[in-house]
Amino acid sequence: MKTNTFIYLILINLIIYGCSSSNDSENNMNNVSQFQEENYTLDKSLFKSKEFKLDKISETDFHEIIQTNGIIDVPPYNKASISCFYGGKIKELNILVGEKVTKGQVLFTLENPIFVEMQQEYLEAKGLINFLQSDYERQKNLSEDNVVSKKNFIKAESDYMVTKVRMESLAKKLLLININPNDLTISKIQSVISITSPIDGFITQVNISKGSFLDPAQNVISIVNTNSLQLQLNVFEKDISKLEIGKKIKFNIQDDKSKEFDSEIHLINKSVNTTDRTIGVYGNLLDKKVVNLISPGMYIEAKIYTASSRKPSLPKNAVIKVENKNYILVLKDSLNNSYSFTKKEVKVGEEFNEFIEILNSKDFNGNNLFLVNGAFNLIK
């Protein structure tokens, strides 16, 4: 009986000990969970030397952007391709590619005997027209008085009208080769005509040389006026609904992607290119100084800013990703010689430029400071 009692007491003690051990284990786990929050200390002298930085959560503009590309171009009315209605030999040519020209400036001269023939025919018709007009008016008066037959009047009228039409048409042809028929006299007949620039601009192409023969309608000189350079961008049709006149554009040229220039949409094409399913978007230059840095035909990369909203954010460098979770360091204390930080988990959203959206920003005090530069060196 004593033996059974002894065994019974031992079992009770074992049960009590087991329960006590289980409680101690739970207490230890609770203590661990209480100290899962990690703290980091950073010496102030190191803070300055390593260019660490503190900042607050702030409201930042987040934009939805369309990435696209295109070229620098000029409107069609600021381009000119020079050609002639008649061929001929290039007599004089004193222009170079890249040279600036003004409207009305002589580009080259063209020589052809046909120019002499046209002037001769015009002067002959002009000299004959006065006689024919006088005869027509005389025959008209005689016909009305029944002095002469209608046949003579009709012939006089026909000769006068045919010559008048011929003279007028020759006058128009002379104007096409820059000869003013009103100033033309026998002493001013010329075999060489001057071809002038129709616009102000810069010579971009010269396809002739002195002494060469120019074929009719051959494009020989190209001129571009760079005072109205514009962006010509290609945007895929899926993004058309996001486009509006006045939307901001930032672009860079391929040779220097570190510099961005400002533009805005001023025209949107209404027709989709069936080959690549894109639509043409045109942008004005907001900074006229950039004209000296770019030229027509340059390839550019651009970002069109569409929808925008302000969101609480921090610089991207402030957020460190560890095992699929995002953390930031919140300033806890600023002692005499050191800063003390606490690691906190954050929920992040969109990214734009150098900033990242903080979805749970309300979990922090508005005065909280965060380590926004150098956090990676501590959490790793």
- Residues 12-40 pLDDT 10s: 444 444 444 444 434 433 333 233 468 88
Give yes or no: residues 282 and 168 share one domain: no
User: What was the pLDDT predicted at 22?
Assistant: 42
Residue 185's Cα: distance from chain center in Å? 53
Are 72 and 261 a contacting pair, CB within 8 Å?
Answer: no
* Same domain (yes/no): 168, 246: no
| β-bridge partners, 283 | 231, 265
Q: 338 or 3: which carries more pLDDT confidence?
A: 338
Confidence grade of residue 148 (pLDDT, cut at 50, 70, 90): low
d(CA 230, CA 265): 10
Question: Given this model, what pLDDT does residue 380 score?
Answer: 65
Task: Report the relative pairing of strands 256-273 and 320-322 from DSSP bridges.
Answer: unpaired
Judgement on whether residues 86 and 113 belong to the same structural domain of the protein? yes
Number of Cβ atoms within 10 Å of the Cβ of 143: 18
What is the chain's mean pLDDT, rounded?
A: 85
Residues 219, 142 share a domain: yes
Cα distance between residue 335 and residue 44, in whole Å: 9
Residue ending a domain, among 172, 189, 224, is 224
CB atoms within 10 A of CB 199: 15
Same domain, 129 and 203: yes
Residue 7, in any domain of the structure: no
Q: In terms of domains, do 86 and 216 share one?
A: yes
For the beta carbon of residue 69, count every other beta carbon within 10 angstroms: 13
Mean pLDDT, residues 67-83: 92
Task: State yes or no: pLDDT of 11 exceeds 60.
Answer: no
pLDDT at position 78: 92
Q: Which domain holds residue 272?
A: 65-76+226-308
> Does 260 lie in the same domain as 170?
no
Residue 25 counted as domain residue: no
Do 91 and 199 lie in a common domain? yes
Contact assessment for residue 194 and residue 57, using Cβ atoms and an 8 Å cutoff? no
Structurally, the chain folds into a number of domains equal to 3
Q: Is 157 found in the same domain as 88?
A: yes
Out of 205, 224, 243, a domain closes at 224
Instruction: Please say whether the beta carbons of 369 and 329 come within 8 A.
Output: no
